[in-house]
Structure 1
Amino acid sequence: MDNLRKLEKLLEERNLKDILIISPENIDYFLDVRTIADSLIILRASRDEGFKLYVPILEYYRFRDSLVGKNVEVFGVSRTIKPSDTNIVEKNWNDLVREVFEKNEKVGVDISHSSPLLSTVVKIGGERIVNVSEDIDRFRMIKDEWEINSIKKAIEITGNGIYRITDNLTEEITETQLAGVFEYNVRREGVEEYAFPPLILFKPSNSYPHNLPSTNKLGDKNLVLVDVGVKYMGRCSDITRMIIWRSISSEEKRALEILEEAIDEAIDHVQPGVKASEVDMKARRIVEKYGFGEKFIHGLGHGFGVVVHEKPYIRMNSETILEPGMVFTIEPGIYVAGRYGVRIEEDVLVRKDGVEVLTRNISRVLT
């Protein structure tokens, strides 16, 4: 289904005449055009007036040319710069928003998603706002087949980049240099954008779950955490693998074995109708059984698609029920602060008859 048709369906289902999409990532989802996270941008879906996109004048031509044939009318918002070949709206953003609310008793808005226009819309709309964020989250959680294919390709490219990292290990190489190795190789395979900056972490930097690469050198022996992802045709991958450089301690080896057992236990429990929190608990109990429960300090996983962190969230308090088409990570971790950290992350797809491990062809622990 064309994603804009989903917005038309939402207008009908919520009995609304107008919906304002103000989150850049949601506009990316509905239009399939890359946005910038802090952009002032509004996509208006109207029963009477169709689809209208309002962008800063400097973005007008890019969106106009990218949306040819999509029945979206593009307007540049500007009171000063007015090129003759543009559709200009000589208003400020407040007036644009106010105009829509003055015409309607209720307006749908994705107010639970991040947007630089959020405070403006909430102030003007007040009680007339109908929050449609959950409806949009549901659209985004259930992936279309083309999205699944894009994710699979992103995973393939990411896996190739991880193997190139293993090919370039030397005692003198740094975390940031290995991040560059990954970036260079995935760019060669056609990647235009990373899902997030690559995290290549040696001990003890990897004992902090979301640390950043530095100029630390690999040295004589080490345990390397590689957490990387790319975007392919607008959809993300997110994979974490561990690399043993020469040798590791028996404790570190045991931690890796525990994670593999936890992952397998969680994956075996993934199927339609299961609560996300139950999948988290399956993995968590394995880690706890071996005495590392207090070292597993984050949720088990998260969805990904347009962005690398989105619903469904696989964590202890999640009420989400798994459904076919959901794609998410399973990534237990054990972190001994100041010493070492281990995490392995698989990407999985819920199918009608169970689960497909999308990252199954990439070795979890490399040497």
Structure 2
Amino acid sequence: MKARVKSIYRHLKKPVDAIVLSNSTEPHIDMSFFYATGLTDGLFEGCTAWLFPDGRCEIVTSALEEEAAKKSGLPLHIFRNRDERIAAMRRLLKGLRRIGINASEITQKAYAELTKLAPKARFSDVSDAVMKTRLVKDEAEIELIRTACGIASRSFEQTLPFIKSGRTESEVAAELVYTMQKNGATGPAFRTIVGAGPNSAEPHYTAGPREIRQGDLIVIDFGALFKMYHSDVTRTVVVGDASPEQREMYDTVRRAQDAAMEKLRPGIKGKSVDAAARKLIDATKYKGRFIHGLGHSIGLATHDGGGLNSVSDIVLRPSMVFTNEPGVYVSGFGGVRIEDDVLITKGGPEILSTASRDLIRVG
């Protein structure tokens, strides 16, 4: 993991003697801890990763996580109680005058503890350097994301026959999550969305007791977690034959996604990719119905730090992975969203999520 640590240091605006990535209790876990250590198992509550300019990384870990931590091959400082944890941190802090913290993730309590242990040190926020480093995936990360995308795509296709009138949204979500884990997922990447009928017009709906009915549009937003790496895919299906209005809405979103896909190339700014999809939708009767950003980086988190939206100045580079997910939402009628995970390459976009992007008839 030395290359990852050195990359973070290369992105720093000001030099530091060490960077401390601190975990508190779930959900306050800094996924950059796992990025720097290369660990893909364990929770590591109350643990810290210590990164040094020469690329070294050391872990202060609880005895609870010792077996998982050993898999990193990194130097370990094992504690069994609070006093031992504090003593280990004091040893590592000795002589440090400039310390970097990931201010986007550290809790106030953890930060206060560090400042108390090193009262003469100067602390600086290195979250921008961490984010910029994590945006560009290495080969190991790309393969894990590719696997997560494959599991999600295959599981969705296997779940399609289950979706029919009379099933509830929650039943469909449960079947899809079960199928993903049966196909090798560590778990779902996030809470699965199954929004049927008018519920499909709510972008971050989850899955409830509503029964699926003939004629419903159903937005299904799902992802597989594989060794801590995420996929994030959305497909919209229709129960029975699509009405002309449903098909027009779907075709509009599909064309918008295709327009954005053409822009997902090295050297293009994130806001230009968003504009390609937004311009197409706003030229139709659905103007103003695309109410969110086009996409986000994906990796150790579902929303992994960077976004594709109207103000994004991120310049695309090879080995970045973003979602491309335009949508149209009409309250009381329904919505359509199509989302794929896309790897930026020198030759153009590579779509990692392989499920069909056509409007699929179910039920």
8 Å Cα contact 2:193/2:207 also seen in 1: yes
Determine helix, strand or coil for the equivalent of 1:260.
helix
- Aligned residues: percent identity? 24
- 5+ unaligned residues in a row in structure 2: which ranges? 24-29
Alignment of 1:120-199 (within 5 A): 120=112, 124=116, 128-199=122-193
Report the Cα distance in structure 1 between the residues aligned to 2:204 and 2:253, rounded to whole angstroms.
18
| Alignment pair present for 1:41 and 2:47 | yes
8 Å Cα contact 2:20/2:100 also seen in 1: yes
Report the Cα distance in structure 2 between the residues aligned to 1:252 and 1:22, rounded to whole angstroms.
48
Offset of residue 361 of structure 1: 5.0
Offset of residue 155 of structure 1: 1.3
Offset of residue 345 of structure 1: 0.5
8 Å Cα contact 1:111/1:118 also seen in 2: no
- Judge which range, 129-138 or 353-362, deviates more: 353-362
| Alignment pair present for 1:105 and 2:97 | yes
8 Å Cα contact 1:238/1:347 also seen in 2: yes
**TM-score with structure 1 setting the length:** 0.86
| Alignment pair present for 1:78 and 2:78 | no
**Aligned-residue CA RMSD (Å):** 2.7
1:304-331 CA distance string (max 9 Å, x none): 0011111321001111101111100110
Report the Cα distance in structure 1 between the residues aligned to 2:114 and 2:295, rounded to whole angstroms.
31
Cα separation, partners in 2 of 1:337 and 1:114, compared to 1, 3 Å: farther
Report the Cα distance in structure 2 between the residues aligned to 1:48 and 1:148, rounded to whole angstroms.
25
2:198 to 204, 208, 229: 204
Alignment of 1:282-293 (within 5 A): 282-293=276-287
| Alignment pair present for 1:274 and 2:268 | yes
**TM-score with structure 2 setting the length:** 0.87
1:186-222 CA distance string (max 9 Å, x none): 1111111221121111111111110110111112331
Alignment of 1:168-317 (within 5 A): 168-317=162-311
Cα separation, partners in 2 of 1:120 and 1:35, compared to 1, 3 Å: farther
Other-structure match for 1:51 = 57
Report the Cα distance in structure 2 between the residues aligned to 1:10 and 1:141, rounded to whole angstroms.
11
8 Å Cα contact 1:155/1:238 also seen in 2: yes
Cα separation, partners in 2 of 1:49 and 1:260, compared to 1, 3 Å: closer
Other-structure match for 1:6 = 4
8 Å Cα contact 2:42/2:65 also seen in 1: no
Other-structure match for 1:66 = 71
Aligned residues: 350
- Quick one: higher RCO (CA 8 Å, sep 6+), 1 or 2? 2
Report the Cα distance in structure 1 between the residues aligned to 2:232 and 2:162, rounded to whole angstroms.
21
Determine helix, strand or coil for the equivalent of 1:204.
helix
Other-structure match for 1:82 = none
Offset of residue 50 of structure 1: 5.0
2:337 to 331, 336, 343: 343
Report the Cα distance in structure 1 between the residues aligned to 2:110 and 2:310, rounded to whole angstroms.
29
Report the Cα distance in structure 1 between the residues aligned to 2:188 and 2:266, rounded to whole angstroms.
30
8 Å Cα contact 1:199/1:213 also seen in 2: yes
Report the Cα distance in structure 2 between the residues aligned to 1:220 and 1:116, rounded to whole angstroms.
51
Determine helix, strand or coil for the equivalent of 1:120.
helix
8 Å Cα contact 2:2/2:55 also seen in 1: no
Offset of residue 96 of structure 1: 6.4
